[in-house]
Every structure is written in C-alpha cells, then in structure tokens.
Amino acid sequence: MTTDTSNHKEEQHQFSAEVERLMDLVVHALYSEREIFLRELIANSADATDRRRFEALTNEACALPATPQLRINIDKDARLLTISDDGIGMSKEEIIQNLGTIARSGTRAFEKELKDAKPEDRPNLIGQFGVGFYSAFMVADKVEVISRRAGTDEAWSWVSEGKGQYTLTQATRDTAGTTIILHIKSDADEYLESMRLENIIRKWADHIAWPIVIKQGEEEERNANEGTALWRKPRSEITDEQMDDFYRHITHLFDKPLATLLWHAEGVFEFTSLLFIPGMISPFAPVDQERKSKVRLHVRRMFITDEAEMLPAWLRFIQGIVDTEDLPLNVSREMLQNTPVLARIRKALTNRVISELQKLSEDKEKYETFWNLFGAIFKEGLWENGEHSESILKLSRFYSSTEEGLTTLPDYVSRMKDGQEAIYFLAGDSKEILSSSPQLEGFKAQGIEVLLFTDAVDAFWPDRVGKYADKPLRSITQAKEDLEKLMGDVEHVNSEEEEGLIKSLKETLGDKVSEVRTTQRLVDSPVILAASAGGPDLQMQRLMRRNDKSMPSPSPVLELNPNHPWIKSLVLKAKDGKDINDEASILLDLARVQDGEMPVDPTLFARRIATALTGK
C-alpha cells in the first residue's frame, strides 16, 4: 500500500473555533497521560474496519481484503509513527465533517468537566467526550491523514499542526482505508519503541477482533493483540479489570457500569450477550439523540451492525454486544427486520434486562443512581409497550408531595387514604416548582399524597396506561370532583355577588378560558388553572405548545378562591360596576405563571402589576 499527495493543489481550511479550543485543552490539560492517543486511534480504525465489513455484505465494491489488519509502523530515524487500516475510509466531505468540526455542546461540557476534575482524573475525560482523534496532538506536532472511501477511487490528504487550520489535498492511496501519520514530538521518544506500543495495546485494545501488527525498522511484524471475544468466556475467567476495560471500549465512557449482564442463552436458539447499564450519560451525546438501541449484533464473533435494534427504544441506554450462531454472516438489512430468530432474541433480551433491573432495584442507592440517569427514557416504555407496562410501573420511581426521596407506585397505593379512589399526580418541569404549586393546596389540606411527575414523558403515559392496581391514574388538574368528595361536608355555594364577578371575568377574558368558577381546593392562592373536562392534562398541552405542535384542546378553566382577600375585593368592585379588566388579565397571567408558563404579553403584565401596586 502506497500513498502519494504530490502535484495536487492544496486547500486551506480553518478549524471551527470549538475544535481549536478543544485541541488546546486536550494537548495541555491532559498532557500527563499521553498513551491514551494510541487507544483512541486504534479504536477508530477497528470501528472503520467493522463498518466496511458490514457494508460489503450489500455492496461488493466495499469488499475487505482477504486478511484485513490494523498496521502500526515505526520509523525511528524519521520520527514517524504510522497507523493504517483497511476500513471504510472517508470521502472529502466526511474528512471535513469528522476532523474539522465538533459539536459545541460537547466542547463546553468537556471544558467544564476538565476544570472541575482532580488532576489524577483528567486523563479519563478523553473517552467521555468522543474527542479521541485530537489526542494525537499530545504526542505529535504534525498529523497527516490519508483516506480513501471504500467503493471509490478518490483519496484525500488532511494535514494539520493543530494550530487553527488544516490543509486538504487530493491524494492517491492504493486501497481503501485510512492512514494516520504522526510526526512525533521530541519529548515523546517512548512512542517510537515497539515494546512500549505493544504494552499499551495489550492494556487497552487486546480484545479488538482485528489483528493489530507492529513493525519497527527491520524487525519482523508481530501481532500485538490476542483478539479474544471476551463475551464468549465464562464470567469466572474474566477479571473485573478486563470487564471494565471492555465496557469503556464499547461505551466510550470512563466510569464503571452500574450493572453487567453476561448471559449465554441455550435452547432452541443460542446467543451470548454482554450488556452494560452505564454509570453515567455521555455529555457529548446529542441532546436529541436518535431513539434507537445501539447494541452491537455479532454473528460468530464477527460484527454485523449496531442498527439491528436489539432492544426497544426505551432501553436504548443499555450498551453492549449480542453474538449468535443462528444467523448467516451475510445477513441483509431486510432480513434483520424480518427474521424470526432475531425477534426471539430481542424478546429474550428485553425480558432479561427487566429481570436485571428488578435485581438492581434491591440496592436502593445504586437504583436511584440508575433512575436519575435513565428513568425518563425507561418510562417511554409505558407509552410504547403494553406487554411490559406492569413491570415498568413497578420499577418506576417518583417524587411525592409527602415523602422524602423517591417512592414507588406499590408504596403509594399502600398509603392511600380511606375513600381515596385514584392515584393522584401533578406533572411539571421540576420537583421544586411542583412542590410549591397551588395545585397541591387542597390535597395537602386533606392529607392526600400526590406524586410529582417531572419528566416530559410523564404528561403522556398516564392516559395510555390508565390505572395501576385497579386504581385510576388522575392528574389533580382534572380532579375537582374527587377533591370535593374527599372534603366531605365542605361546600361553597356562590353568592349573587360572586356570580356577578364570575360573569364579568368570563365576559372580559372571552375564549381565553372555557369557564370561570369558584373552587374549594385553594387555601393560600387566589387563583388557579384547571383542565377542561375531557380535555388533555395542562402539562401535556404546555409541552405540545413548546414543541410547536398544535393539538385540539379547549381553553383552561380559571378557578377562584372565594375566601382570598383579593377575590373578595374583586367581588365588591364587580358589584359596584367598577372596571376590572386589568385585574381579570392579571388573574389569568398569574395563574399561568404559577404553572410555569409565561404571560401572553410579559411587558403588559409587568405594567399592570406596577399600576396595581402604585395605583398609578
């Protein structure tokens, strides 16, 4: 394999500002653990080779060589370290995208973590943020990348000294794949020694399936890794350190997993799975990450794809590998969607993961860590899947208006008051906001516990699930009659003057509200919003509006506290025929603010408040 970049016009490109700052952070703040660079570059090469092998199944032009390798060549005299692979390679556009830009959120998060981390913890941050390629500049003052996309004849050279810009030049490469040439710094001699590199590979990449060969000068090539399929070994033969290293390789995280599941399934169909529940969420992950499982599918040890959706979307936080003997190596994407074997494996895996979570839930502290990380994703299963709803409900955790920490639905049911017919909840944006919501006042006064739902999905799944333990799930914004029944003899009959205020407010507010009425569920607050009968929960309506999704829903109900001094004063104003237009708008905006919404016109709201306070 040879490469050539001569006689081609160079293109100068600037790094995005985020990449430039990122490289400076990597090079200077993580300087003490420089060996990390080799692990990152080898992992990238192994992934590229895996992807080419899978793409070749449906595209003959991408076929791998007979003996694909990851090759490391050391030229000590020229101070060059070259890492080559037979992987999928990159087109010009892919080089610019992969090596010239990076997500801004990842860089900011990386910088913050770096600032907060202890010095001894800083080397591990590279793997957490997907910035591995740039670690090459810890040991090299110049990096060249020559890549040819499989299935094409065109190759490109990328060259940079890591100082704000890079050059792109059309090049030649005999075969598809990528070559990375590191011009080693004067103080990094150790990385020009084959034994040192071999030790690093044994430490970090021994499990990679593709052979990694090292050649230095006139020495013969030798394999630097065993390439063992860790997941095929009995658990007793795998050390905790090996398991943690493999977890880090698969997830690109550098914590320890909350739980590890190594399972050899035997019977009508056979497969092995090595799955991990991570102990953290990668801060480099996109905010709106794709809702698909990325568990890797292998057939007889060989990587096939990470897009087989081996687990449902609501278990997409699980990472790992599934390896089976019961599929052909040349399995197509269409077969992956339709084969009964894969459907049975998916079902078995899902059941096993739920069983593992049930075990994990016995450790309260560890399970709360899991729940804080992945609970919102897990609860998506309540919306999507009826088969496992009962198990998901039992495993779900919620904040409560009366209990410290997190609680469960079974525990809530055990604490229900005599005469209480439903499981009550209030959905919103945070525990702090919900805990002080006026919506809770009447329920607190009656000693009725309310679950506080703080994730976006909580606005949707209760309607789908309907009930738990034969108890309906009901938002307290739709529970006026329930509370009145629980309050017993407490009843308020509107006076003629109060009816006058109600009529006046409805005329003033028009179709902004579907109804104005008094309520006994308020204690300290003057006003509150309620969902119309038969309409969706208020939080669901808010979420849909924030995401620019329209949904048919009636205007909210405006409920008044007839015992509040302000409402009493408005009753007298309305009786005397005085103008209460401004007060009507303030009441509605105030009710919105209490529920975490903005006034329709914040400036006008502020002006009306100022006028009300000063009388001017």
Question: Residues annotated as binding site for ATP?
Answer: 40, 44, 85, 90, 98, 105-106, 128-133, 178, 333
CA distance 423 to 398: 12
User: Rounded to whole angstroms, how far apart are CA atoms 371 and 174?
Assistant: 51
CA distances, 248 to each of 94, 125, 221, 236, 507 (Å): 26, 12, 28, 20, 64
What phi and psi, each to the nearest 5 degrees, are found at residue 402?
A: -125, -15
Pick from 613, 457, 460, 477: which is nearest to 558 by CA?
Answer: 477
Nearest-angstrom CA–CA distance, 121 and 131: 16
d(CA 451, CA 437): 13
Q: Give the dihedral sign, CA 251/257/258/259.
A: positive
What is the C-alpha to C-alpha distance for residues 258 and 370, in angstroms, rounded to an integer? 7
Residue identified by tokens 């309607």 is 463
Residue 327, phi then psi, degrees to nearest 5: -130, 150
Q: Tell me the binding residues.
A: 40, 44, 85, 90, 98, 105-106, 128-133, 178, 333
Residue 51 — φ and ψ, nearest 5°?
-70, -35
Beta strand extents in 438-484 (DSSP E only): 451-453, 467-468, 471-475
Structure token digits, residue 20: 């430039």
Q: How buried is 330 (Cβ within 10 angstroms: 0-12 exposed, 13-18 middle, 19+ buried)?
A: exposed
Angle in degrees, 0-180, between the axes of helices 581-594 and 496-509, rounded to the nearest 10: 80
Alpha helix locations (H) across 130-210?
Answer: 194-204
Phi/psi of residue 590, each to 5°?
-60, -40
Residue 171, SS3? strand
Give the C-alpha separation, 241 to 79, whole Å: 33
The SS3 of residue 452 is strand
Exposure b/e, 170-187, CB count within 10 A at least 16 = b: ebbbeebbbbbbbbbbee
**253, 127 Cβ separation under 8 angstroms:** yes
Kindly state the tokens that stand for 532. Answer: 């119309």
Rounded Cα–Cα distance for residues 584 and 503 (Å) = 11
Q: At what angle do helices 104-116 and 17-29 cross, to 10 degrees?
A: 30
Angle at 457 between CA 452 and CA 462, to 5 degrees: 70
- Per-residue H/E/C for 301-352: CEEEECCCCCCCHHHCCCEEEEEECCCCCCCCHHHHHHCHHHHHHHHHHHHH
Strand ranges of the sheet holding 271-277, from the earlier edge strand across to the other edge: 259-265, 271-277, 319-324, 296-299, 302-305
Query: Exposed (0-12), middle (13-18) or buried (19+): which is 400, by Cβ within 10 Å?
Result: buried
Q: Tell me the C-alpha distance between 312 and 9, whole Å.
A: 49
